[in-house]
Amino acid sequence: SISRPTAIQMAPFSAYLEEELDRRFEIIRWFDLDPAAQQQILSTGDAAIGAIVTNGHVGCPDALIEALPGLKIVAIHGVGFDRVNLDLAKRKGVGVSTTPNVLNEDVADLAVGLVIALLRAVTPADAFVRAGLWERGDFPLARKVTGRRFGIVGLGRIGVEIARRLAAFGPVAYTGSKPKDVPYAFHPDARTLARNSDVLILACPSNEQTRHLVNRDILDALGPQGYVVNIARGAVVDEAALIAALEEGRIAGAALDVFEQEPHVPDALRTSPRVLLTPHIASGTEETRRDMADMVLQNLDAMLAGNALPHALI
């Protein structure tokens, strides 16, 4: 029989994407394999495995890229590539693709939703009504959104969409590697931005430069009336420093869609009345996930046809 190409799938996807993957490849679901079966693949290095399909935050281990002589592509369903070793992929002649732009609007929409929900205490207010507490008295007052100063860390494709939306509410400033041609104030570093912001929104990539960028120093620059919103990556925030700042009232609150050890969320965050938590859902709409799936498939189809990857990082 004519053998079909094999692909390793690193994480579960939508039924649509999984069906389309099954149509094209013999699929190995890495997350369903026990350690011995994984080790078997790592030591035999099956040359039929031409693709790894993964998501933005799971990525793939270096050992897998090293082990597979027939590997041609790591196709990421997402834009973050912090868990894929680009230098190694390049050295091995393996292409890496992402799904840029199609998720910008959703991620920006969720960032704005988190800002409003956090300052206006929407989830505690919902819990208050459900618990029947309204009949015993009014809900405590929240904080005003309009007029707040918004500071965006990372004005890339997503950051700029967040800026456009938040500009309807108050002044927007940003920091990043360089100033851009935009109508928002640039600050050269996160500390200066934090000092001049009420709400600090993280929209930068996760890399060595941004690891624990939001540390004690930045949180103290933001101050006791300040809020943090993270839709980027957990690693951008020193979670222990954030927890301490929340517990000691050195910042007012935080809304987090991403975490350092997700899906593990520390108890100190899960029990804090000052935080709003979502399970990495910023790109999670049916519409956008369909578009992301189609981009993954375009990249895989290009690989199968021997063409250049349309959304290649390298």
Per the annotation, the verdict on 262 as an active-site residue is: yes
Per DSSP, what are the bridge partners of residue 202? 153, 230
Could you tell me which stretch among 1-9, 54-62, 168-176, 210-218 binds ligand 8YV (CB under 6 A)?
54-62
- Which one is catalytic: 233, 239, 289, 311? 233
97 contacts ligand 8YV (rule: CB under 6 A) = no
Among positions 79, 114, 214, 236, the unique one binding ligand 8YV when judged by CB under 6 A: 79
Q: According to CB under 6 A, which one of 203, 283, 295, 302 is a site residue for ligand 8YV?
A: 283
**Selected binder of ligand 8YV within 17, 49, 53, 57 (CB under 6 A):** 57
17: contact with ligand 8YV by CB under 6 A: no
Render the burial of 138-156: b for 16+ CB within 10 Å, e for the rest: eeeeeeebeebbbbbbbbb
Please state the closest distance from residue 2 (CB atom) to ligand 8YV, in A. 31
Q: Does 9 bind ligand 8YV (CB under 6 A)?
A: no
Work out whether 156 is an interface residue with ligand 8YV (CB under 6 A).
Answer: no
Q: What tokens appear for 295 in the block?
A: 């981009």
Residue found by looking up tokens 């990857």 in the block: 309
Q: Which one, of 221, 216, 170, lies nearest residue 193 by Cα? A: 221
User: HEC string of 91-133?
Assistant: HCCCEEECCCCCCHHHHHHHHHHHHHHHHCCHHHHHHHHHCCC
Is there a contact between 94 and 51 (Cβ–Cβ < 8 Å)?
no
Tell me: does residue 103 bind ligand 8YV (CB under 6 A).
yes
80 contacts ligand 8YV (rule: CB under 6 A): yes
CA 22 – CA 134 distance, rounded (Å): 52
Q: Is 55 in the site for ligand 8YV (CB under 6 A)?
A: yes
105 annotated active-site:
no
Q: How many residues does the chain have?
A: 314
CB atoms within 10 A of CB 208: 6
264 is catalytic: no
* Closer CB to ligand 8YV, 103 or 213, in the complex: 103
Q: Which of 23, 63, 13, 59 is nearest to 41 (CA)?
A: 63
User: Closer CB to ligand 8YV, residue 57 or residue 311?
Assistant: 57
The least CB distance from residue 84 to ligand 8YV, in Å, is: 11
Is the Cβ–Cβ distance between 49 and 7 less than 8 Å? yes
Nearer to ligand 8YV, 106 or 238 (CB): 106
Catalytic residues: 233, 262, 280
Chain residues binding ligand 8YV by CB under 6 A are 55-57, 77-80, 103, 280, 283
